[in-house]
Amino acid sequence: MSERMVRIEVLRYRPETDDEPTWQGYDVPCRDDWVVLDALNHIKDHLDGTLSYRWSCHMAVCGSCGVMINGEPKLGCKTFLRDYPDGVRIAPLENLAIERDLVVDMAGFGDRLAAVQPYLMPRGAAPAGTYRQTPAQLDRFQQYAMCINCLLCYAACPQVGLNPGYLGPAALALAHRYDLDSRDAGRDRRAEVTASENGVWECTFVGECSAVCPESVDPAGAIQQMKLACSLDYVLHPLRKGASS
């Protein structure tokens, strides 16, 4: 397998010693089939043990290794070095606070996920056995259930950068996933959060979240559908009330 030296620049930041992030360069002998994560692991093992970053599965499903690669949010394990003949510059995901080197603060994201109540709220008691759900009903929400929480969409979204309270693409898409599930009756309760000032109306439909999503979840599409559903609720709500009184 052919090998070539690749210049890898990494944005370093160690809060105990550094005032601000600085670039550090490494020349890495890379194999033709290496992804960016392989190069980071080579640096860690052989060139500089002090470099910190998150990773685990190496197969684009655990969502740990999201970073900016030449300015674009990408998974390190799915981005091949051969596609960057002039080398790469790796930085932590944008719009998120840096904890150290390529490690960003995840706590805020966890709060946003919890806020949208991403779990089934059934109509009544659970059935004896499983619910019936046809493939077509599954199809309605399945795409939105594929999010790996890698946060690439938060790094891409201009609104996340402007409004720190914004729930953001992944959390809203997950709410939509449950809203669309035939087993769920929790949409109104979730809407108290998803249609709030930090919810779907913050989205200006730039669509970058869907463009960078490695799992083709299409959060932008989810958010537009949620906006539409909210608007319909607003129009129909008095009628529904009238009908039930």
Partner 1 sequence: MRTVEADVLVIGAGGAGLRAAVAAAEADPALRVALVSKVYPMRSHTVAAEGGAAGVISDDDSFDDHFRDTVSGGDWLSDQDAVELFVREAPGELTRLENLGCPWSRTPDGRVAVRPFGGMKIERTWYAADKSGFHILHTLFQHSLKYPGIQRYDEYFGLDLLVEDGQCGGVAALEIRTGEPVLFLAPAVIFATGGAGRIYPFTTNGGIKTGDGMAMAYRAGIPLKDMEFIQYHPTGLPGTGILITEGARGEGGILVNRDGYRYLQDYNLGPPDPWPRKKAMELGPRDRLSQAFWQEQRKGRCIETPSGEVVHLDIRQLGEEKIDERLPFVRELARTFVGVDPVHEPIPVRPVVHYVMGGIDTDIDTRTPVEGVYAAGECACVSLNGANRLGSNSLTELLVFGARAGRAAAERARDASRPDSADWRARAAASFERAETLRARTSGSETIAGLRTELHALMESCVGIYRDADMLQRACDGIGRLRERYGDLAIQDRSRVFNTELMYALELGAMIEVAEAMAHAARQRRESRGAHQRLDFVDRDDDRFLAHSLAHHGGDGPPRISTKPVTITRWEPAERVYGGTAQ
Residues contacting partner 1: total by CB under 8 A: 61
What is the closest distance, in whole angstroms, from the C-beta atom of residue 170 to partner 1 in the complex?
11
* Closest of 118, 116, 113, 120 to residue 185, by C-alpha: 120
User: Token digits for 227?
Assistant: 């906006």
User: Does residue 188 contact residue 232 with C-beta atoms inside 8 Å?
Assistant: no
Binding mask of the shown chain, residues 88 to 107, with x at each position contacting partner 1 by CB under 8 A:
-----------xxx-x--x-
- Residues facing residue 126 across a β-bridge: none
- For partner 1, give the closer residue by CB, 141 or 154: 141
Site for partner 1 in 147-186 (CB under 8 A): 148-149, 174, 178, 181, 183-184
CA gap 3, 32 in Å, rounded: 6
Site for partner 1 in 203-242 (CB under 8 A): none
- In which element (H, E) is residue 66 found? strand 66-69
CA gap 54, 30 in Å, rounded: 20
- Candidate residues 3, 5, 7, 57; the one interacting with partner 1 per rule CB under 8 A: 57
Give the CA distances from residue 195 to residues 159, 168, 175, 203, 228, in Å, rounded to whole numbers and listed in that order: 16, 12, 11, 11, 11
- Candidate residues 11, 24, 78, 89; the one interacting with partner 1 per rule CB under 8 A: 78
Binding mask of the shown chain, residues 2 to 41, with x at each position contacting partner 1 by CB under 8 A:
------------xxxx---------------x--------
What phi and psi values does residue 76 have, to the nearest 5 degrees? Answer: -65, -25
User: Token digits for 228?
Assistant: 């539409």
Where does this chain bind partner 1 (CB under 8 A)?
1, 14-17, 33, 44-46, 48-50, 52-64, 78, 99-101, 103, 106, 110, 113-114, 117-120, 122, 126-127, 129-135, 137-138, 141-142, 145-146, 148-149, 174, 178, 181, 183-184
